[in-house]
Amino acid sequence: MEQACRTLEISRSGYYDWLHRKPCVREQRNQALKRKLVELHQKYPALGLDSLYHLLKPDFGCSRKRVHRQMRLAGICSARHRAYKVTTNSKHSHPVASNLLKRNFFFERTNQAWVGDITYIPTGEGWLYLAIVKDLCTRKIVGYAFSDRIDTSLTLAALDMAVCRCKPSTGLIFHSDRGVQYAARAFRERLATYGIRQSMSRKGDPYDNAVAENFFSCLKCELIHLKQYPTRASAQADVFSYLEAFYNSVRPHSALGWVSPVQFEKNLLAAQAA
Residue 263: CB atoms within 10 A of its CB come to 18
Mean predicted confidence (pLDDT) in 237-242: 97
Maximum mean pLDDT: which of 23-37, 92-106, 190-204? 190-204
* pLDDT for position 243: 97
Average pLDDT, the chain: 87
Look at residue 18 and tell me whether its pLDDT is greater than 60: no
The answer, yes or no, to whether residue 91 has pLDDT greater than 70, is: no
Torsion of CA 254, 251, 64, 225, to 10 degrees: -100
Q: Which residue has the higher pLDDT, 151 or 15?
A: 151
Q: What angle do CA 228, 231, 236 make, to 5 degrees?
A: 85
- The string over 113-130, giving b where at least 16 C-beta atoms fall within 10 Å of a residue's C-beta and e elsewhere, is bbbbbbbebebeeebbbb
- Assess whether pLDDT exceeds 90 at residue 72: no
Helix, strand, coil shares, percent, the chain, to 5: 50, 15, 35
User: What is the arithmetic mean of pLDDT over 41-52?
Assistant: 79
pLDDT at 83 over 70: no
* Other beta carbons less than 10 A from residue 57's beta carbon: 16
Residues 6+ apart with CB under 8 A from 199: 97, 98, 99, 100, 101, 173, 174, 175, 176
At 101 the pLDDT is 92
Whether residue 238 has pLDDT greater than 90 = yes
Nearest to 149 by CA among 125, 178, 176: 125
pLDDT band per the 50, 70, 90 thresholds, residue 84:
very low
Residue 139 has pLDDT above 60, yes or no: yes
Asked whether the predicted pLDDT for residue 54 surpasses 60, the reply is yes
Question: What's the average model confidence in pLDDT over 36-65?
Answer: 82
Residues 215 and 141 sit within 8 Å (Cβ to Cβ): yes
Query: What percentage of the chain exceeds 90 in pLDDT?
Result: 55
**Per-residue pLDDT at 174:** 98
